[in-house]
Amino acid sequence: MDININSTSAPVVLLFAGQGNPVIGMGADLWDINAATRHIWDCASDISGLDLRRLCLKGPMNKLIQTTVQQLAVTAINLTLYTLMREKIASRTILGVCGHSVGEYSALYAAGALQLEDIFSIIHFRAALMDRLSRQNKGSMLAVKGLDYLAMRQRIADAGMELDISCDNSRFQQVVGGTASALSEFNRRLVAEGLAAVKLGVSGAWHTRLMSDGVQQMQDFLMDIPIGQPLCDVLMNVTGAPESDPQAIRQNLSQHLTHTVKWTDSLERLLAYETPPLFIEISNKAYLGQLLNDFPRSSPEMILHCRKII
């Protein structure tokens, strides 16, 4: 069902995508629309020293999946789409914003807590740090359908493996991270149960213990970054709850490297608002809205992808 932004007066919740499934050509229709979109991509490239447009347009894929490229690309796409959409929703009340994994930085930008240059400085540092740790502690991630958080945690405990739940995406989807050997064995157990698992197109085991050495380094870097008080609720991945204190935001962003993305908790809190909101997904390709279908309070009429607006 197609939903028109003008067909409802509901307040808005913005959902920003994270990395996961890059494609050659991503963002190519966005970076030269106007001066504002060009500035976003120029800023990302100038700060990182990468020709981000060329990498997104031509790859190669083995480069595009690297977190040093993908985090910047996803953020540039998110911020461009948000910038193009912002005027279209200027009259709407924004109840809250939430970003999945690295998408959390886009959410903080939309809430007025972080400035553009600071975001790309953080992402450049964060991605390089995670890339370095992923080379020291090699790992990967599996998306598993059919289980909630508690059921997945029990299976990991029963298997006796050093695996972590990277993302609690919904009541029916979990992402597990760890070493390749542990994930391979765990996947065999899941298949034997009739469960489906898909390896994600990422270059490390994000939000797991394999990133532990980066938490203090991330915290030290963020101490020099100005963070303002958000203008609306920012539901953070580490807690699944809104946070407005800049120092607490820094702490959450640091712990983000090793803690589960509590997307289920965030969505359930957003769905519990007294006035049912319209969820607008901001991503290159729709997928976060599909996760909302796993929640009983949600309905297709509550979900709209940003490309339907811009």
Q: What band does 69 get if pLDDT is binned at 50, 70 and 90? A: very high
Single-letter amino acid, residue 287: Y
- Say what the pTM is: 0.95
* Integer-rounded Cα radius of gyration of the chain: 18
pLDDT per residue as tens digits for the range 241-268: 999 999 999 999 999 999 999 999 999 9
CATH assignment of the domain containing 152: 3.30.70.250
- Which of 161, 178, 199 is where one domain is finished? 199
Secondary structure (3-state) at 290: helix
**pLDDT score of 8 more than 80:** no
**pLDDT score of 273 more than 90:** no
Q: Classify residue 27 by burial, with Cβ atoms within 10 Å: 0-12, 13-18, 19+.
A: buried
Contacting residues for 309 by C-beta, under 8 A, at least 6 apart: 5, 85, 88, 89, 280
In the chain, pLDDT over 90 holds for what percent of residues?
Answer: 85
Same domain, 144 and 131: no
Same domain, 33 and 178: no
Q: What band does 1 get if pLDDT is binned at 50, 70 and 90? A: very low
Name the residue among 86, 12, 98 with its Cα closest to residue 276.
12
Q: What band does 3 get if pLDDT is binned at 50, 70 and 90? A: low
H-state helical runs in 11-51: 35-48
Name the residue among 45, 17, 102, 46 with its Cα closest to residue 55.
45
pLDDT value of residue 129: 98
In the chain, pLDDT over 70 holds for what percent of residues?
Answer: 98
Q: Which residues are catalytic?
A: 101, 207
Same domain, 40 and 166: no
pLDDT value of residue 21: 75
Q: How far is 17 from 167, CA to CA, in rounded Å?
A: 13
Task: Provide the residue range defining the domain that includes 219.
Answer: 5-136+207-308
CB contact at 8 A, 130 and 154 = no
Same domain, 129 and 241: yes
Tally of structural domains, the chain? 2
pLDDT per residue as tens digits for the range 122-146: 999 999 999 999 999 999 999 999 9
**What average pLDDT does this structure show over 209-227?**
98
Same domain, 34 and 84: yes
Q: What 3 state SS string does 236-271 have?
A: CCCCCCECCCHHHHHHHHHHCCCCCECHHHHHHHHH
